[in-house]
Structure 1
Amino acid sequence: MKELSANNEKNSFLKDFFSWVPFGLFFLIDKDFRDAFERLSWSKKQMEELEFLRLKSIISFAFENSPFYQEIYKKAGVEPKGFKTLSDIQKFPILTKKDLRLAINENKIFTQKKFPFLGLKTSTTGSSGNPLTLFLDFPCRKHRFINTIRAFWMMGSFPEKRFVLLWRKKELSFRQRLRSKLGLFYYIPVVDVMDVQKSALTKEKILNILNKLVSFKPQIIRGYVSTLWVLTQLVKKYRIPLFPERIIACAEYLPQSWWQEMEEVFHCPIHNLYGGSEASPVAISLHGKKELTVLQDSYFTEVVNSQNQWNEKEKAGRILITDYVNHYMPLIRYEVGDVAEWSDQESGPFPCFKEVHGRINDIFVLPGGKILFSHNWHIYFRDVGSIFQFKVIQRDFDKIEVYLSPTEGEEKKLEEDLKQLKSKVQESLGKDIKIKWEIVKHLELDAGEKFREVRSQIDPQKIIEKL
C-alpha cells in the first residue's frame, strides 16, 4: 500500500510538473505573455493610456491600408489625426454585421497588399441570427491565446487542474492534446458541426456523458450555458456525485436564476465568460461577483445608446468591440449584437459590466426525450448565404416554427435553398416533428429590444420531467 501511495504521489507530481511546463516556457521567452500578467497590477490611468495608443495604431493602419475604412472615414469626415483622446472614438463610424458582410464580399476590408494573410479563417456560429466568416491573422491569434490563458488563470483554472470541456465537436489544440495525455483534459462534444443531423442528445448519450464526468472527477467544467443548465438539473434530480471546484459558463446568456441554482447545486464558484468568435474573452466574472470584469487591454469595449454615444453607467446599451491587433481584417467599433450596462464597480484597472443581455439561447426537448441545443440551429443555417437572419420557435414538444429573412437580392435563391434545408432538418429531428417554414422580409426584435433567434415556449419544469 505504501508503494502504491508513493507511485500515485510521483505520478501526481509529474502531471503537475509537465502541465506547468508550457506555461512556464511562455512566461520566460515571450515578453507579450509576461506583459499581459503585469498589466493586472496597473493603475486605471496606465490602462487608459495603453488603450489610447492601441486604438490610435489600429485606426491609423486601417485608414492607410483598408479601402473600406478609407471610404467610410472620408464619408464621415474623420481621420486618425483627429483621434486625440479616448472619447474621440465616438466620432468614428460604427461597423455593423451588414457592413462587415458587404465589405468582405466586395474584398474591401482586407489589407492583403500590405499584410499577407497567414492566419486562420473561421466562422461565427450565428448567435445573432446571421453568421459570417472571419479572418484572424497570426498576431491576432497570438493575442487571443495570451488573453485566454490569462483569463482562465484569473478564474482559477490552473494548468494542473482536471478540466472538462462540453463544447461543439472540433479539432483539439496541441496544448489540449498534451493535457489530455496527462489525464488533465477531457473533451465531450455536445454538438457535431460536421454531422449536425446526429447532434441531438438522446437519453443514452446523456447517461454516457454523465458516467464519463463522474469517472474523470473534473475540477473545472466549461461549457455552453444551456448545456450546464441541463447538467445542473440532472445532478440535482439524480443526486449525481459531481464536485467541481469551478464552473465556467460561456457562449450564451446566463440568467441570474440559473447562476444561483448552479451555485446551490455544485457549491462552487460559477464564472460567466463573455465573448464570441469575433472577440474572446471580452469579460469574465471573478471573486464570486455577478459583475463581469471587462478586459480592456484585450479589446476596446464600448456601450453606446441610440445616438451612438457612450452610455451612462447602469443604463443598457449596444456593445461595440475594437480588436487592437487584427491588421488583416480590422474590426473597429464593431457592433456584436449584444446589450450590456456598465457597473459603478471596478476590478483593478478594469471597468465592469453590471450585466450582459442578448445572448439568450433556449433548449429544445423533442419527443422521446432527445435534447437539441441552440448551436445546432446556427450550424444548420450558417453556410447558407441566402439567409440573412433566422428565428426558430418551439411551440410544443412536436411543433417547431422556422422563420427566415433573405439576404438582399437573394430572395429567389433562398426559395431554392429552402427545399434542401427542409429535408435536412426534418431528417435530423425525425418525422414525428411538425415544422412550419416561412420566409419573411424582416424579423422583429423580442421583448426588451433583444433578438432571440432560438426560443422555446415550453415550461422549463416540463423539460426537466423529460430528462
Structure 2
Amino acid sequence: MNWFKLSLQLNRFPISRAQKTLQKIQEISSEKYESYLNDRKAEIVNHHLQNNAFYKDFSKEDSYTTWTKLPIMTKKDLQRGLQKRLSTGFSRNNIYLGKTSGSSGTPFIFAKDRFAHALTWAVFQERYLWHGIDLNKSIQARFYGIPMDFYGNIQERFKDRISLRRRFPVFNLSEKTMKDFLRRFQHSDFDYINGYTSAILLFAKFLNEKKLNLKKVCPSLKLCIVTSEVLFETDKNLMQKAFGVPVINEYGASEVGLIAFENKENEWLVNAEDLFVEIVDKNNNPLPYGEEGRILVTSLYNKAHPVIRYEIGDTGILSKKSTPKRPILQNLTGRNNDFAKLKNGKIIPGLTFYYVTKSIIEDTGSIKEFVVVQTGLDTFEIIYVSSSELSSNQQKEILKAISRYVDKDLEIIFDRKDQLQRTKSGKLKQFVSKI
C-alpha cells in the first residue's frame, strides 16, 4: 500500500499530476533550463500582479519587466491577516495552510495552493529515493517535537501513522530519554532517522559514550537525514560513527519546501525545479556563484500566495560549479540552536521554543519578533517586539505553553523592545543561553 501517496490524495493534493510535472521539468535540457526558469518567474509574478492585491501594492509594479527591480520580501512583510494576502479565487477551503516561526523568531501563517503543496512533496519523495528511502514504504524514526494539546497531538500522531513516522519527542533529552530511544530501536525495524540536528547529535553522543553502533542494534537502518540546524562536519562524522549509516544534510523551510538536499556525492543540490534560489549582497544586488550573501527563495508554482524574492533568513554560497539546472549550495550560515539546561537535569533543544511559538501565534501578527534568553538554570527572559504589551491572558498562555513544552516552576520575565539585537550576519537567533 502506498500510504504516503494515498494520504495526499485523500487530502485532495494532486500528487500524481505533481509527479508528472516534476518529471517533465527534469527532462528540460541544461541549455534550455535558464529559459524555463525565466518563463516561470515571469509567469508567477504576472499571476500575482493580476490576482493578488497585496503583492501588487507591495511590489508597486503594474506588470513584470525586470527581475532585480522586484522588492525583496521578508517575514515581516507577511505579518498581516492571511485573507489579505491570498490571491483571487483562494480561501482557507482550497489551500494548504501552515504556520512557521522557523529559527528566525519571526512567526507568520502561510498558504500554498494544493498543486504547489503536492509538487513540494513530489520533490521530497524524489530526493529521498536517491538514498533508497521510499516515503510510501520506509519507516521513519522522527526526532521532532509534537503539539501537546489534545487535538493537536492526536492530529499529529494520526499523520505520523499514515506517513510511516514514529515520533521521538525532543522536548526532554535526558539520559533516561536516550535509553528509551535506544530500546525503541532495539525492538523496531526503522529504515531511517529524520529530525533536528541538535537532538540527533545528542543521541549519537549518547551511543558513542555507551560504545554502541545503532546499525548493529537496528540492522534495518539505512540512513540519517538532519534538518533545521547547521550540521558541522565533525558532528556529521560523529553521527556516522554512532549510527553506522550515511548522514545526509537537508535544508528547507515549511513556507517554501525543500531548498537543498545532499546527494551521494556529498553535493548539496539546490531544488531548481519548483524554486528559484538566488544570493544577494547587502545592497540587494545578485551575486555571482562563489560569493557569500543572503539567500532569497521564490516559489515558482504557488498561485495562492506570493513568495517572490523571499528572504529566508540565512546566508550562503552557491558553488562556482553551479548551473541554472544544477545549482549547488556550497555553504550555509545559521540555524544552529543552543540548548537549555535546567536545574532538574533536563536538556532542552533551543528549537523547543519553536513549538511555544506555534502555540501562541496569532494571524494578526501582533507579535512581530521574539527571542528567548536563558539567564539561569530556572530563569528565562522572553524579549519581544510587538505593537502593544502582551496582555495578562497572552502571558498566561505563553506560561502555560512553556510549562507544557519545557518544564514547570520556571521564572519567566517578559521584556518588550522596539527592536531586537541581531548577529553580524543579520540573523536573529531564537534561543540564546547565557549560562
Tell me the TM-score normalized by structure 2.
0.84
2:130–2:264 Cα contact (<8 Å) kept: no
1:417 matched to which residue of 2?
A: 394
2:63 matched to which residue of 1?
A: 79
Q: Deviations over 1:55-108 (max 9, x none)?
A: 1211111011111122233x3x5622x2xxxxx421111111111113x36x43
1:90 lines up with 2:74 in the alignment: no
CA distance in 1, matches of 2:73, 2:424: 25
1:363–1:371 Cα contact (<8 Å) kept: yes
2:29 matched to which residue of 1?
A: 43
Q: Residues 400 and 354 from structure 1, CA distance in 2 versus in 1: closer, same or farther, beyond 3 angstroms?
A: farther
1:209 lines up with 2:181 in the alignment: yes
> Which of 118, 121, 124 lines up with 1:142 in the alignment?
118
Q: Residues 423 and 109 from structure 1, CA distance in 2 versus in 1: closer, same or farther, beyond 3 angstroms?
A: closer
CA distance in 2, matches of 1:435, 1:333: 37
CA distance in 2, matches of 1:414, 1:68: 29
What residue identity is the alignment partner of 1:339? Answer: T
> Which of 365, 372, 390 lines up with 2:341 in the alignment?
365
What residue identity is the alignment partner of 2:247? Answer: I
CA distance in 2, matches of 1:401, 1:340: 31
1:286 lines up with 2:273 in the alignment: no
2:254 matched to which residue of 1?
A: 277
Compute the displacement of 1:292 (Å): 1.5
Query: 3-state SS of the aligned residue for 1:223?
Result: strand
Q: Residues 400 and 121 from structure 1, CA distance in 2 versus in 1: closer, same or farther, beyond 3 angstroms?
A: same
1:388 lines up with 2:368 in the alignment: yes
What residue identity is the alignment partner of 1:259? Answer: K
CA RMSD of aligned residues (A): 3.1
CA distance in 2, matches of 1:120, 1:241: 40
Q: Deviations over 1:234-277 (max 9, x none)?
A: 11111234113211001222223322322333343211111111
CA distance in 1, matches of 2:4, 2:397: 50
CA distance in 1, matches of 2:21, 2:89: 31
2:54 matched to which residue of 1?
A: 68
Q: Residues 20 and 130 from structure 1, CA distance in 2 versus in 1: closer, same or farther, beyond 3 angstroms?
A: closer
What residue identity is the alignment partner of 1:44? Answer: S
> Which of 226, 231, 248 lines up with 2:225 in the alignment?
248
Q: Deviations over 1:183-208 (max 9, x none)?
A: xx4412415xxxxxxx4345433322
Q: Residues 349 and 112 from structure 1, CA distance in 2 versus in 1: closer, same or farther, beyond 3 angstroms?
A: closer
> Which of 234, 239, 247 lines up with 2:211 in the alignment?
239
1:219 matched to which residue of 2?
A: 191
Q: Deviations over 1:108-158 (max 9, x none)?
A: 321234778412221014421121111222112211121111121124323
> Which of 221, 226, 234 lines up with 1:257 in the alignment?
234
1:85 matched to which residue of 2?
A: none
2:12 matched to which residue of 1?
A: none
1:166–1:224 Cα contact (<8 Å) kept: yes
CA distance in 2, matches of 1:116, 1:125: 20
1:100 lines up with 2:84 in the alignment: no
Compute the displacement of 1:284 (Å): 0.6
Compute the displacement of 1:218 (Å): 2.5
Q: Residues 209 and 30 from structure 1, CA distance in 2 versus in 1: closer, same or farther, beyond 3 angstroms?
A: same
Q: Residues 261 and 206 from structure 1, CA distance in 2 versus in 1: closer, same or farther, beyond 3 angstroms?
A: closer
2:202 matched to which residue of 1?
A: 230
Alignment of 1:371-450 (within 5 A): 371-382=347-358, 383-385=360-362, 386-396=366-376, 398-407=377-386, 409-410=387-388, 412-413=389-390, 417-418=394-395, 420-422=397-399, 425=402, 428-431=406-409, 433-450=410-427
Q: Residues 32 and 79 from structure 1, CA distance in 2 versus in 1: closer, same or farther, beyond 3 angstroms?
A: same
2:223–2:246 Cα contact (<8 Å) kept: yes
CA distance in 2, matches of 1:153, 1:366: 40
Moved more, 89-98 or 170-179: 170-179
1:47–1:297 Cα contact (<8 Å) kept: no
Q: Deviations over 1:15-72 (max 9, x none)?
A: xxx469969xx9xx93541442465465333332221222121111101111112223
Query: 3-state SS of the aligned residue for 2:198?
Result: helix
Compute the displacement of 1:312 (Å): 2.8
Compute the displacement of 1:340 (Å): 1.3
CA distance in 2, matches of 1:53, 1:308: 22
Structure showing greater radius of gyration is: 1
Tell me the TM-score normalized by structure 1.
0.78
1:188–1:209 Cα contact (<8 Å) kept: no
Which stretches in structure 2 are left out of the alignment for 5+ residues?
10-14, 147-152, 216-220
Moved more, 248-257 or 222-231: 248-257
Q: Residues 362 and 443 from structure 1, CA distance in 2 versus in 1: closer, same or farther, beyond 3 angstroms?
A: same
1:164–1:220 Cα contact (<8 Å) kept: yes
CA distance in 2, matches of 1:153, 1:281: 14
1:453 lines up with 2:405 in the alignment: no
Moved more, 113-122 or 160-169: 113-122
CA distance in 2, matches of 1:116, 1:211: 42
2:167 matched to which residue of 1?
A: 188
Query: 3-state SS of the aligned residue for 1:359?
Result: coil
CA distance in 2, matches of 1:217, 1:111: 45
CA distance in 2, matches of 1:130, 1:201: 26
Alignment of 1:308-387 (within 5 A): 308-346=284-322, 349-382=325-358, 383-385=360-362, 386-387=366-367
What residue identity is the alignment partner of 2:40? Answer: R
Compute the displacement of 1:221 (Å): 1.0
Q: Residues 312 and 250 from structure 1, CA distance in 2 versus in 1: closer, same or farther, beyond 3 angstroms?
A: same
